[in-house]
Amino acid sequence: MDRSDQGGSSVPMNRRSFLAASAAGVAGLAMTGMARPARPQAAAGPVEWTPLPYAENALAPVISAGTIGFHYGKHHKGYVDNLNKLIAGTENEGKPLERIILDTADVPEKAAVFNNAAQVWNHAFFWNSMKPAGGGEPPAALRRKIEESFGSVEACREALLSAAVSQFGSGWAWLVLDQDKLKAVKTANAGVPLTMGLKPLLTVDVWEHAYYLDYQNRRADFVRAVLDKLINWEFALKNLG
Ligand code: MN3
């Protein structure tokens, strides 16, 4: 599969982060190397478990290596494995991930495929929405856009925090582009703004598995720490295009 289908993976890796991610990359290569009959015109191979763009301990102490290890190694991988089992031998096998998501959204009998596909996309996007020593001031071009839409970077941060905290139960908080304006929105469960005609720029996973080991029930503390210390504004600017 073309890496651009993976949402988050358009971020170029420097050598250090490539090396840090190489263990996960080996697993991804092993998956893409699985023997399959050649199918002309079809995207090759199963949906990929994309590499984590940094080491599992690189976000500590904001997010512990234990949390990332389970979240990436069990949850994210679980969605990939489930999806590949669900689509094997069906019309969705070999499609780019975003196509699978759009083709199964709001189709009740395809809910399991949608949920697993959207969670694969959301997690790849989430890993790239953070970086070690992130946070701080957005790059100038993004800051101008944020100020046009929210009034200030602080107001944008508060809108993201509010979306994250007010999501009842599992879900995601997003910075999105809606037409020409930035907005903070939330989605429940596997929901993804791609299906709502919105362009995702950043996300924060607010499923309990994202923070419970480190923050227990204190979701707001987790989100504040991610926004202040890890958020990858450069990734948002790249997605803004
Ligand atoms: Mn998650």
Q: CATH number, domain at 156?
A: 3.55.40.20
Higher pLDDT, 29 or 102: 102
> pLDDT exceeding 70 applies to what percent of the chain?
81
Please tell me the pTM assigned to this model: 0.82
Token reading at 68: 């990332």
Consecutive H or E run containing 82: helix 77-87
Task: Report how far ligand 1's centroid is from the alpha carbon of 175 (Å).
Answer: 17
Task: Report how far ligand 1's centroid is from the alpha carbon of 24 (Å).
Answer: 17
Taking only the tens place, the pLDDT of each residue in 45-64 is: 699 999 999 999 999 999 99
Taking only the tens place, the pLDDT of each residue in 1-47 is: 344 344 433 334 333 333 333 333 333 333 333 444 444 444 556 99
Sheet containing 171-178: give its strands across.
181-188, 171-178, 199-205
Taking only the tens place, the pLDDT of each residue in 110-153 is: 999 999 999 999 999 999 999 999 999 999 999 999 999 999 99
Task: Report how far ligand 1's centroid is from the alpha carbon of 8 (Å).
Answer: 15
φ/ψ region of 126 (left if φ > 0, alpha if ψ in -120 to 50, else beta) reads: alpha
Mean pLDDT lowest among 12-16, 63-67, 204-208: 12-16
Task: Report how far ligand 1's centroid is from the alpha carbon of 43 (Å).
Answer: 26
| 103 pLDDT higher than 90 | yes
Task: Report how far ligand 1's centroid is from the alpha carbon of 71 (Å).
Answer: 6
Q: How many domains does the chain have?
A: 1
> pLDDT exceeding 90 applies to what percent of the chain?
81
Determine the Cα–Cα distance for residues 125 and 128; give it in Å rounded to an integer: 5
pLDDT of residue 44: 53
pLDDT of residue 45: 66
Domain that holds residue 178: 1-241
